[in-house]
């Protein structure tokens, strides 16, 4: 990069509640000198046609952007100023057909492929978890099969719902079947709650997933869990997919399929910070449904989660950039 990154609007000169609600008040990607200047593209996908219970996640991306007005440019937990280390920009939304899941998946994959071709890593704001499949297709086309950390209350490796192969509960089964995941480095984190049957766990294990339940995080602590996840991932290209319902409903009421007994927002943020040495090539954050989000609790947690993920990517970009 020949010029310093353009950072967020100065909150000491323009109030946080004023102006366009881009992520963290960062520039839009079309405000950069060239689209290829973006190291990290924050992109929304307002799509929730794949949900099986409460809808509303199509509005999640903009709710996260609004909550991100409070983010500040220095991240003390990671001792980094992410928006000075790399150019992070808001790439707007990928507009998809809300009535045709197959067409929506194709549109998402094509748009993600175009953004990745600029050299950017993606920080995607959903939307429901259906979007993870086309995003993984695009990332794997660039990097080969990727390691996956999937933070979620649910497995999302079921086969079909009402005969439909593409829903928010099936993306990772499809991804394994398509060979776009590195099955030696797959983990769910934060799973809990009832299943359809014990066979769900057997099928999941057969696909290669390891499981760290929310109870495991509580009993073992975030440092030990992060150590285990780093060891499983190694230096493979890593994709992180976070369903906000990995958090307990006390920390994230605004989601479509809440389950009791989840992680605290503090635990989630600390585990992400513990993955800072991993090769994080892209990430998504999904299932924020603001209609159920009193006092914006969920959107605030989601905005900070996206901030930590963006910081990890920015630090890695800066560390690998050739020195002049």
What residues are designated binding site for Mn(2+)? 129, 152, 154, 156, 243, 245
Instruction: Kindly provide the b/e burial profile for residues 292-313, where b requires at least 16 CB atoms within 10 angstroms of the residue's own CB.
Output: bbeebbbbbbbbbbbbbbbbbb
CB neighbours of 251 closer than 8 A, spacing ≥ 6? 262, 263, 264, 265, 297, 298, 301
- 11 phi/psi in degrees, rounded to 5: -70, -15
Whether 25 and 16 have beta carbons less than 8 Å apart is answered as yes
Q: Are 100 and 45 in contact (CB under 8 A)?
A: no
- Structure-block tokens of residue 4: 């310093």
**Helices 265-273 and 222-233: crossing angle, nearest 10°?**
40
Known binding residues are: 129, 152, 154, 156, 243, 245
Burial of 185 (0-12, 13-18, 19+ CB in 10 A): buried
Most distant CA pair in the chain, distance = 58
């Amino acid at each position: 990069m020949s010029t310093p990154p353009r950072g967020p609007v100065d909150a000491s000169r323009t109030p946080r509640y004023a102006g366009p609600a881009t992520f963290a008040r960062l520039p839009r990607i079309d405000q950069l000198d060239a689209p290829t200047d973006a190291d990290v593209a924050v992109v929304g996908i307002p799509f929730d046609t794949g949900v099986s219970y409460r809808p509303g996640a199509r509005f999640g991306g903009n709710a996260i952007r609004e909550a991100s007005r409070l983010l500040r440019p220095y991240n003390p937990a990671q001792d980094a100023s992410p928006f000075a280390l790399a150019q992070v920009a808001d790439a707007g939304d990928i507009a998809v057909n809300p009535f045709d899941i197959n067409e929506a998946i194709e549109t998402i994959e094509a748009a993600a492929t175009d953004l990745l071709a600029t050299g950017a890593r993606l920080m995607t704001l959903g939307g429901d978890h259906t979007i993870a499949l086309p995003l993984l297709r695009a990332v794997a086309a660039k990097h080969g099969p990727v390691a996956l950390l999937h933070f979620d209350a649910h497995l999302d490796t079921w086969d079909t719902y009402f005969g439909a192969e593409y829903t928010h509960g099936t993306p990772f089964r499809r991804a394994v079947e398509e060979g776009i995941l590195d099955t030696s480095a797959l983990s769910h984190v934060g799973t809990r709650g009832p299943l359809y049957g014990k066979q769900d766990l057997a099928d999941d294990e057969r696909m290669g997933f390891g499981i760290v339940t929310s109870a495991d995080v509580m009993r073992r602590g975030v440092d030990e869990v992060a150590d285990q996840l780093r060891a499983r991932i190694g230096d493979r290209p890593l994709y992180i997919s976070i369903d906000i319902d990995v958090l307990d409903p006390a920390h994230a009421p605004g989601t479509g399929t809440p389950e009791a007994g989840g992680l605290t927002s503090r635990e989630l943020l600390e585990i992400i910070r513990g993955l800072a040495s991993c090769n994080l090539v892209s990430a998504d954050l999904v299932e924020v449904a603001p209609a159920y989000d009193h006092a914006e609790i969920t959107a605030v947690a989601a905005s900070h989660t996206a901030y930590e993920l963006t910081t990890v990517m920015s630090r890695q970009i800066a560390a690998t950039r050739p020195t002049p």
